[in-house]
Amino acid sequence: MKLFHYICITFAIAFVVHYWIISYMVSRVSYNSRGKFYLSTMVASIMCLWEVMIYDSYRDTISLFYYIGLGIVIYGMVYMYNIQSGVDDEDYIKQMLEYQSRDILLADRIIKNTESQSMKMLAGTILNRRKRDIDAMKKIMVDKDHETRAPITGKNLFSYGHKNESH
């Protein structure tokens, strides 16, 4: 099989594993978001880079075209993730919900597995805070879907501190 085919297969498998499987394993909640797409593409590209390195070591060659191309993709995904390109409020909330659910899962495990009262208290505090945060974020998402505007001014009644916009 040619190197290109190896890279395509590696990319597809690594992307799926990172985007869906690992995401579900560590948080039990999985949302589609651009930030997660950027990270999954970066991880899959790194796996492809390793595949090229292994291929080159067996063939005693250097696949410069693949190194440059994958390097550009990795750099581009890191850059896009860092500036949160194209990420709107809903994408941001989805990313935060997934991260908050990871904290809840970890806090639950700590409470069940530790003997230390101070650790149980800390984990309980984190657990309660994250659950409140998740409830607030879910309410924001629901309210955003059912945006209510004032009848006369047309301003958003549920702005959550953002600028009210008129339509």
Check residue 72 and give its pLDDT: 98
Per-residue model confidence as pLDDT tens for the chain (167 residues): 799 999 999 999 999 999 989 888 887 777 888 999 999 999 999 999 999 999 999 999 999 999 999 999 999 999 999 998 988 888 888 888 888 888 899 999 999 999 999 999 999 999 999 999 989 888 888 877 666 666 666 666 555 555 544 44
What per-residue confidence (pLDDT) applies to 165?
Answer: 47
Tell me the whole-structure pTM to 2 decimals: 0.74
DSSP reduced 3-state for 164: coil
SS3 at position 156: strand
Rg of the chain over CA atoms, in angstroms?
A: 22
The pLDDT assigned to 156 comes to: 65
| pLDDT for the residue numbered 98 | 87
Quote the CA–CA distance of 89 and 86 in Å, as a whole number: 10
Phi, psi (degrees; rounded to nearest 5) at 53: -60, -45
Instruction: Please state the separation of Cα 40 from the chain's center in Å.
Output: 8
Task: Give the separation between CA 35 and CA 133, rounded to whole angstroms.
Answer: 20
pLDDT at 150 (0 to 100): 62
Secondary structure, 3-state, 91-148: HHHHHHHHHHHHHHHHHHHHHHHCCCHHHHHHHHHHHHHHHHHHHHHHHHHHHHHCCC
Segments making up each domain of the chain, as ranges: 3-83, 89-145
Residue 167 is predicted with a pLDDT of 45
